Structure 1
Amino acid sequence: MSDVAADRPADRRSAFRLPIPFRLAARDLRGGVQGFIVFLGCLALGVAAIAGVGSLSRGLTEGLQREGRAILGGDAAFSLMHREATPTELTLLESKGRIAIVATMRSMGRAASGDSTLIELKAVDGAWPMVGRATTEPAAPLPDLLAEKDGAFGAAVDPALLARLDVKVGDRIEIGSSRFDIRATLTQEPDKLSDGIGFGPRVLVSEPALKASGLLQPGSLVRWSYRVAMPGEPGDGAVRALLADVEREAKGSGFEARSRLNAAPQLQRNVDRFTQFLTIVGLAALVVGGVGVANAISAFVDRKRNTIAILKSVGASGRTVFLVHLIEVAALGALGVAIGLILGAAIPFGAAYALKGLLPLPLAPSIFPRELALAAAYGGLTALAFAFWPLGRAHDVPVAALFRDAIAPDRRYPRLGYMIATGVAAAALAGLAVFAAYDRRIATAFVVATIGAFVALRLISWGIMAVAARLPRPKRVELKLALANVHRPGALTPSVVMSLGLGLVLLVALTLIDSSIRRQLSNELPQKAPAFFFLDIPSTERDRFGEVVKAKAPEADFNSTPMLRGGIVALKGQPSEDAAVDPESRWALRGDRGVTFSATPPEGSTVISGEWWPADYAGPPLVSFDRRLAEGLRLKVGDEIGVNVLGRTITAKVANLREIHWETMGINFFMVFSPNAFAGAPYMTLATVGFPKGAGDAKELGLLRELTRDFPTMTAIRVKDALTAIEAIVGNLALAIRAASGVTLVASILVLAGALAAGHRRRVYEAVVLKTLGATRGRLLAAFAAEYALLGLVTAVFGLVVGSLAAWAVATEIMRIDFWFDPVGAGGAALVALVLTIVLGLVGTWRILGETPARHLRNL
């Protein structure tokens, strides 16, 4: 009885014991995470990038939604191009709530000195702003600032205008045919984000001032926006019902409707696109880090060779050995993912603090479980996809082979089950990347490119080893040893090529894409582009405008064409919003687009399908369409489209498709109608003026000064200034992309360091044997340097070639710009890869060469 009682505590203790694999893994992990620093770093880096980007994007999205009413200036906004709302339409909107009227357009601001600049003109009524607050310096009631006094209206302006025209508060400027007193600077504009990106400084005036300026001509590029603030605190359902009611009751009006739920749709789309790119960068870092995971686990299994042998010799099964080490890897992987999640969750808070007062976006930092869970899933699947294979190889390896692996590694594949598990984890990772993406086509292309890069890098590493094995042996011992190290069993070649190759391809591609864009903006476009685009020239002033240009600048090249604005409202008899079109082409269905009419094909385009109409054509309206856009909208010759122009829907048949050569920088439009389609309709004229090379700024600005004085209601866009603004945006974007892509480069460096560290045991063995046989430290250092230089050189060449091909494809097929190979930028990236390989390799080797053989020989 006492014996039974004595046994009960032991039985009770044994009942709560973990299974043997968990106990063995827990005991092994007590020794710390030595050798897994790269493993943890790679996982944490990739997970942090994805979690941070996702959380930051979600914070911006929620901030836009939370501040949507203030950004939009109401619960809903209904916009029209060219025309104001009719009394009936205005009555309908007023029945839904309070109304504020805002009109925006581009114009020219002129100082007394004769200097002029492009401005973003915004005219508001007395109800603006209904939501939020406009602040000025000096502070004063807005109606007083904008009112007419002493024969001039008031204006509140962006401080940038003062610098451009060299004026100050209290000075007078001219806009159109009216004079305006600058009475304050505009320091805060609550609905600025909803108006999109502007190319000139903001000038805020009153609605009566705009109507008195002479700028409102039939066909002028003015957008009238009617903001509606519903009574009380309406929910999202009430706002959606408002949009539906107006769409139904004002059918055919041409209203472009927005609500507080999508106050800045273009900004939201840009946030989504940039988020996708940065997520792909994070995935690239994870995939590159996956190589580090595989290297770390292979090195881990190598270090545990004696442990595995002992376990198997005392009866442990291959399954037990696999489970023990899988549990260890899973625990360390969970630690790496947790570190990444903590860092990623902190990124929105850090961004909000660092950019406070600088970022004109409503960022709402918080902890977002969905984004963190997605990042954790990416990290966990990456760890599993790269862990099953090296861990599975230990399952069936006999004890003798485990010991023999030091000099004759066993190259057998793991069991089929482990191979299937690897494939399933990789497929799950690829599927998650595609289905969680904003643009699944881009994500699919990334997955396919990643698989292709892995296969190519593996084939290259095998090719290097095969060629090295067949090359004649050099006479110098150092070179002979370096060449042998490249192809011998357990060589670093696959690890180094794989770890550095992916990051280098991305770095070279981004460098060359950036170079091509900059060259296009700074060199090629200025040579092809005209000096000026002139907008809003009344059709009645077209001939006189051309005569003035020829009189003031007879050497200038002058071209003009009619211009109207219209929105596509129907495709093949179906409402455009219901049409099945390519997502990349749906932008053409949002809002109004420039249209024109012509009796002849525009310069810079070629008819490739269908026929152009006769010069005296008088039948039903016809339209010529850009080929690429037609393909995206699923249109072909003979199909019908409906375009709303000036409140009237014109149904036209597609007569032909054109290939437009945009690189000529001539006047061209996606849609060109037959002249009879707009018979009698008021329109404006778009004109370009180009100067011979070397005309100089003085000649261009002199003509601009004359034209803005003689034609005060027209708008001039100087191409050089526009390109400078675009180049600044591109430069900032490229800097952000490079900084983000640096995550992948850091991952590559980590993996490379890990790959070299994984070979530490073998390097020690080789160094001991060679030093025992009389090799000097200098000779060994030279041999290892030659080996690393050879591997780095081959990897650099691969990255240079493949990265250049990727950049060429993106530039020519996606961006439609000329590709330019920048030897300095691309070569610099390749040189960095070469130097990194040599330096990191020699840093790890130096400590090995300093060790005495005796200590290691005693342990053999």
Structure 2
Amino acid sequence: MHGTLPAAQPPRRGFRLPLTLRLALRELRGGLSGFTVFLACIALGVAAIAGVASISRSLSDGLGREGRRILGGDLSYSLINREASPTERAVLEREGRVAVVATLRAMAVAGEGAALVELKAVDGTYPLAGVLVTEPHAHLADLLAPRDGVPGAVADPALLTRLDLKVGDRVTLAGHPFAIRASLASEPDKIAGGIGFGPRLLISESALRGTGLVQPGSLNRWSYRIALPQASDAEIDAVAARIARAAPEAGWEMRARSNADPRFAKSIERFTQFLTLVGLTALIVGGVGVANAVHAFVERKRGSIATLKSVGAPGSQVVALYLVQVMLIAGLGTAIGLAVGAGLPFAVDALFRDALPLPLNPTIAPGELLLAAAYGLLTAFAFAITPLGRAHDVPVSGLFRDAVDPAAGKPRTRYRLLLAASLLALVALAVATAFDRRVALVFIAAAGIAFGLLRLVALGVMALARRLPHPRRAAPRMALANLHRPGALTPTIVLSLGLGVTLLVTLSLIDANVRRTLTASLPARAPNLFFLDIPSADAARFHDFLAQAAPNAKIERVPMMRGRIVALDGVPAQKIRPPEDAAWVLDGDRGITYADDLPDGSVLTEGAWWTAEAGKASLVSFEAELARQLGLKVGSAVTVNVLGRTVTAKIANLRKVEWRNLGINFVMVFSPGTFRGAPHSDLATLSLPGGTDASAESRILRDVAHGFPSVTSVRVKDALDAVGDLVAKLVLAIRGASAVAVLASLLVLAGAVAAGHRARLYDAVVLKVLGASRARLLSAYGLEYGALGAVTALFGLIAGTLAGYAIATRVMRLDFVLDLSGALVAAGLAVALAVLLGLAGTWRILGQKPAPYLRDL
């Protein structure tokens, strides 16, 4: 029987992973031993960046989602020192339901006590959006309505505590009594009011008019909130455009619900950028730990690499194999960091929802998480490619032979180009996503300089140790040799610890100078009390009153109005794109004054002060630095809107202003002829000869509150405390973010000690065989780590001081005082930590039995 064999079936060709990836996954089955620090560094840095970005997005989304409630309506139009005219009111009321809110500062008096309050007067339609919560709960109109001829008020609990009051008691405003009917539990539009220097007191609009606090020139803000029925953002924009066309000369400030607080949104962006750069610092510092871990990984895989190369695997495939492994592990670390960062807004919202002053809308932010992942993977690649690339050209014999001192060599050009490309990608990513690209570039340059200097310090220490005479005693001689021996830990420890100490010293000095400025130096030079809304008719009598109450005090008094810049050299303010440092001048109303003479605390830098005759024209003196940033010079035209009237004045001179003494000064000081005769109130300051005197200040505040009830008194220390509290919270956030970078430094330091484990192990074995005791070896290692810690602490003190000086003087515009108390503590802790971590890492090594290792030598 003849037949034919069936044809051979071709093998099934299903999907198979590439060979390099299959080999990498197979090797990873053995676990992630030795990659703990690697994972921690990547996860920590990515978590910091992802967490900061996610919280920022949640805040921005919260502001956007709650924009209508924060603003108090869909649109808001605000005027300073004047109410809207009937024609302007009619323009607004044609578009929707209008609520009127007036805000000002006033003095609340109860018995012998007096306190500054943030007074808020509302009409019957308030609030248009959100819910006002009071204790006890009742309709707001009922709480504020007059009973037995006395209008009601709702008070912040802080005011009740400060004046020792309770619901049912009375306070007086400008001599008029108000009955406190409830305490204020929640105010829907509180954020839009900005920083307050006193507790809130809520009254009705009609009751405010009865107090006499609203006078021509008094410092008050009138806001007109408009509620539109189910309007989209496009419809709101259309309404705003119609109002602008109908009342082009109103001079009011407009906000829409989509950007309820643009200044606060900008602050969030700036602060987010700073914290992101700190997180990037942590990631870059962690990159050193990545390089250490990859170097140790290559050392552990020496036998495997030799085997692969001996059977014909090209060097590029070997590098690709282990690069895939490293990037897979980096991907795991990145995923961990992303999970932590993405969950941070939800954790913050769950734990601190009631304490947060801002609306937080926890959400997963894919764009921000993708950015954090890109940072993490690029950092891992950049710091891994060089130690992996060195294995490309090392011969098989060298791989088997160099167990303790591997042959050194530069990686091929391709790997150096890959390193350069990845670093450029990191720089491009940081700059492209930065709110302020100049700040990002400065940070990148500073980081590069710090890395370069620390590398030079490490090389200098090794060169010096190599040239020093060898000590006679064994422990110091061994410590000195360990500093410069092949494979020494000097470069890694100096880099990781140096960056951490520099960061700690910088923050310590900035913190010390900010606190000194707010709590020490300013009160010594600043006035003790500010007095606002002094009626011009009572100005002379008020001056005499202060002179009698404080005979030796210095009293300054100037007229004050509020004005908004509407054009510069004929260009409308909304079309000007000023630098970020000067944008605030065009954003909202500014305090302005007029004067015959150059104000104290000012120095002319260009032009001349006006004479009595020249001062009859419309002239203005502008602050020099702001003028430069706005492109203004002597002869430029500045157009302002004051009390609804538009005035154009020519810049007669520029002057440098010393703002930090908190004296009376203004960005713009006009000539007397510009506004003489215009309704205004006066602003006065009082400086006691002995500096801060709490009892005298309290007495004067009480007497002013009783004698001049319409005058608002502000104690400078209270204002500084309010600002200081805000700064303290910001510093706390900065410290928290910076702690991540310091923790990364510690991880790198621990990783460096672990990376040198193999060489130290053989050292310890040989020395123990030769009779060295554990105590002698510990003393040698302690001297080595102590020397490295001292060198890096010295570098950190110098570099951190320079960085702190630059940030304090150039960025924060503060006087710098070298206060190294906190910095020395940080540096000392760094030295102690370096020694402890180093000894902790070697303790286990010193306990190993020599026999198992001698067999392999």
Matches within 5 A, 1:365-444: 365-444=362-441
Deviates more, 1:321-330 or 1:619-628: 619-628
Provide the rounded CA distance (Å) in 1 between the counterparts of 2:381 and 2:427: 13
Using the alignment, how far apart are the partners of 2:494 and 2:348 within structure 1? 35
Superimposed CA distance per residue, residues 755-788 of structure 1 (whole angstroms, 9 cap, x where no aligned partner): 1100001111211222222222221111111111
- 1:75 matches 2:74: yes
* Cα distance change on mapping 1:396 and 1:264 into 2, 3 Å: same
1:191 to 189, 192, 197: 189
- Partner residue in 2 for 1:101: 100
Question: 554, 558, 577: which is aligned to 1:557?
Answer: 554
Deviation at 1:252, TM superposition (A): 1.9
TM-score with structure 1 length normalisation? 0.97
Question: Counterpart in 1 of 2:211?
Answer: 213
Give the 3-state SS of the residue equivalent to 2:477 in structure 1. helix
- 1:328-368 deviations in Å (ceiling 9; x for gaps): 01110110001111111111110110012221322111212
Deviation at 1:503, TM superposition (A): 2.0
SS of 1:658 mapped into structure 2: strand
Q: Secondary structure at the match of 2:392?
A: coil
Whether 1:29 and 2:28 are equivalent positions in the alignment is yes
Distance 1:4 1:468 in 2: 79
Cα shift readout 1:806-829 (whole Å, capped 9, x = no counterpart): 111111111122223333210111
Q: Do the aligned residues in 1 keep the contact of 2:596 with 2:615 (CA within 8 Å)?
A: no
Instruction: Decide whether the 8 Å contact of 2:404 with 2:759 is kept in 1.
Output: no
Q: Pick from 143, 149, 152: which aligns with 2:150? A: 152
Distance verdict in 2 for CA 1:2–1:405, change over 3 Å: farther
Is residue 118 from structure 1 mapped to residue 122 from structure 2 by the alignment? Answer: no
How many Å separate the matches in 1 of 2:548 and 2:44? Answer: 64
Measured against aligned partners, the alpha-carbon deviations of 1:406-458 in whole angstroms (never above 9, x if no partner) come to 45543321111111111111111111111112222222211111111111111
Counterpart Cα distance in 2 of 1:849 and 1:618? 86
Alignment of 1:4-83 (within 5 A): 8=10, 11-12=11-12, 16-83=15-82
Deviation of 1:695 after TM superposition, in Å, equals 6.7
CA 1:190–1:413 in structure 2 vs 1: closer, same or farther (change >3 Å)?
same
How many percent identity over aligned positions?
55
Q: Distance in 2 between matches of 1:481 and 1:195?
A: 66
User: Structure 1 residues 31, 695: closer, same or farther in 2, change over 3 A?
Assistant: closer
Which residue, out of 703, 706, 711, partners 1:709?
706
2:678 aligns to what SS in structure 1?
Answer: coil
Are 2:293 and 1:277 aligned? no
8 Å Cα contact 2:523-2:691 kept in structure 1: no
Deviation >4 Å, runs of 4+:
1-7
* Cα drift, residue 651 of structure 1: 1.0
In 2, distance between residues paired with 1:291 and 1:836?
18
For residues 106 and 4 of structure 2, the distance between their equivalents in structure 1, rounded to whole angstroms, comes to: 102
In the TM superposition, what is the alpha-carbon distance from 1:3 to its structure 2 partner? 9.2
Three-state SS of the structure 1 residue aligned to 2:441 is: helix
Task: Say yes or no: does 1:515 pair with 2:519.
Answer: no
* Pairing of 1:407-806 with structure 2 (within 5 A): 407-618=404-615, 620-693=617-690, 696-806=693-803
Q: Secondary structure at the match of 2:225?
A: strand
- Per the alignment, residue 264 of structure 1 pairs with 261
SS at match of 1:612: coil
Deviations 1:254-289 (CA, angstroms, capped at 9, x unpaired): 110001101122332222222122211211111111
Aligned partner letter, 2:104: M
CA distances 1:825-857 after superposition (whole Å, capped 9, x unpaired): 101111121111111111110111111221101
| Contact preservation (8 Å) 2:617, 2:671 | no
Aligned residue for 2:302? 305
What amino acid maps onto 2:215 in structure 1? Q
Moved more, 85-94 or 18-27: 18-27
* Residue identity opposite 2:42 in structure 1: L
Distance 1:286 1:5, change over 3 A: farther
Alpha-carbon displacement from aligned partner over 1:65-85 (angstroms, at most 9, x marks no partner): 111111111100000001111
Moved more, 400-409 or 537-546: 400-409
CA deviations on 1:612-643 (whole Å, 9 max, x unpaired) are 11133245411111112112212122211111
| Letter of the structure 1 residue corresponding to residue 714 of structure 2 | I
Question: 1:119-138 residue pairs with structure 2 within 5 A?
Answer: 119-138=117-136
Q: Secondary structure at the match of 2:151?
A: strand
1:93 positional shift: 0.5
Unpaired runs of at least 5, structure 1: none
Quote the RMSD (CA, aligned, Å).
1.6
Count of paired positions: 855
What is the alpha-carbon distance in structure 2 between the residues aligned to residue 583 and residue 666 of structure 1? 25
The TM-score normalised by the length of structure 2 is 0.98
Distance in structure 1 (CA, Å) of the matches to 2:151 and 2:221:
21
TM-superposed deviation, 1:396: 1.4
Structure-2 residue corresponding to 1:334 = 331
Contact 1:196-1:266 within 8 A present in 2 as well = no
Give secondary structure in 2 for the equivalent of 1:383: helix
Hey, what's the Cα distance between the residues in 2 that align with 1:224 and 1:114?
31
Instruction: Work out the CA distance in 1 between the residues paired with 2:310 and 2:635.
Output: 80
Deviation string 1:647-705 (CA, Å, 9 cap, x unpaired) is: 11211111111111223332111111111111221111111011122673222211211
Within the candidate set 138, 141, 161, 2:139 is matched to: 141
AA matched with 2:325: E
Matched, 1:835 2:829: no
Task: Provide the C-alpha distance between the structure 1 equivalents of 2:467 and 2:434, rounded to a whole number of angstroms.
Answer: 46
Partners in 2 of 1:526 and 1:276 — Cα distance?
32
2:528 and 2:692 in contact (8 A); partners too: no
Q: Is the 8 A contact 1:600 1:615 kept in 2?
A: no
> CA–CA distance in 2 between the matches of 1:434 and 1:842?
41
Please give the secondary structure, in 2, of the residue aligned with 1:463.
helix
Q: 1:674 to 1:466 in 2, by over 3 A?
A: same
Does the 8 Å CA contact 1:527/1:693 hold for their aligned counterparts?
Answer: no
